[in-house]
Structure 1
Amino acid sequence: MVMKSVLCFGDSLTWGHDPETGARHAYEDRWTSVLQKSLGHGVRVIPEALGGRTTVFDDHTSAADRNGAKILPTLLQSHAPLDLVILMLGTNDLKEYLGQTAIAAERGMRRIVQIIQNHDFGKTGQTPSILILSPPHICKTGDKEMDDFMSLKRKEVKKLAARYELLADETGCGFMDMSTVAKPSPVDGVHLDAVETRAIGAAVAPIAAAMLLI
């Protein structure tokens, strides 16, 4: 049996940021791990996630390069051959100090899709299928100052699902709306507790299996 490979490209929601501790969820609680267990030994799930990662925008507040478009070609090459790439990005594109909107995030995601679909994989295999996940919504925390600061971001993230679904239709990608699957913790309004994180992996598994034809 030929092993199939899935690259999960995302931000802190894919990395597994625990809102209660600020650390990382246990390996078994990360949605990529739940996906791996569900798909079985014939599939290799590769988590490639970074807190604060954007689609295509530079953010110089971190020691690590958060621009997804810059690192993605290298990852495509280093992990090839790939059968499926799962994308969950966009929340960080909406940061107020980056001045971004849902329109800009959709354009960034479009560029990410273009990079994958036009990448020269050479003899390492054919272009992988793509599954776009729109991120969970942002909730209020009870901290008025923080909630006021996040108000625009809360409004814009709700627009991503419709834009990403249209993008998926236009580019031949799969699509799932994670706001129908998981809700963030009111601790910080953005990140997911272990139960909600695992729910994403369980929801994505049957769609990924269908796209992998397993």
Structure 2
Amino acid sequence: MTRYVVYLRLSKARKGEAGLGIEAQQRDVDLFLATYAHNPEVLATFTEVQSGADDDRPELAKALALVRSTPNAELLVAKLDRLSRRVSFIAKLLEDKRVTVRVACMPNADAFQLHIYAALAEQERIFISKRTIAALAVAKSRGKALGGIRPHTERRNEALKAQADARALKCITVIGPMRDSGKTLAEIASALTVMNIPTARGGKWSPTTVADILRRAA
């Protein structure tokens, strides 16, 4: 039997959507317990409305204290960013021998893979923020000369390109070292699929999608 301490979190900025956000997380947790957990026991569920960038969260502290004091207990979150948006915080927690972290939407991920996901997610957030601001500024300046509905189209196209470039930057930290070590595109695609890293559209990796990431990152 494995015991689980469930932690659900909603950002302050989305407090008005608490019902939808928490319900969605609970669905992921319930799906994990029903599909991947063997004879599970839920010890408690802690819910918090606070930014994931904050390390000092009372409800999370309570959840971790319960995990540390209970044999065979694991901390269960719906998604990794519900635990924290700071890779340093997640890395420190993964190094804690008294805590086992389980992510419902990544049921087979080990501590090493979770660390990689955390690092990639943080890089993506930083890049998207900077790139989107720059892209919108360029679109706005072009829109003044073009007029009509073109500014909206320019902003949308720039935003989509920014997202694609951010995705490439996120993935290249994993793909780059494998490519440098001599792995073929097919071998890299297979490894990414085994690691449960989704493509931009949520599908499986292929040599073509790996090549596209390498091209964009270059």
Question: TM-score per shorter chain, which class?
Answer: 0.3 to 0.5
Greater fraction helix: 2
Q: State the structure with more CA Rg.
A: 2
| Greater RCO, 1 or 2 (C-alpha within 8 Å, sep 6+) | 1
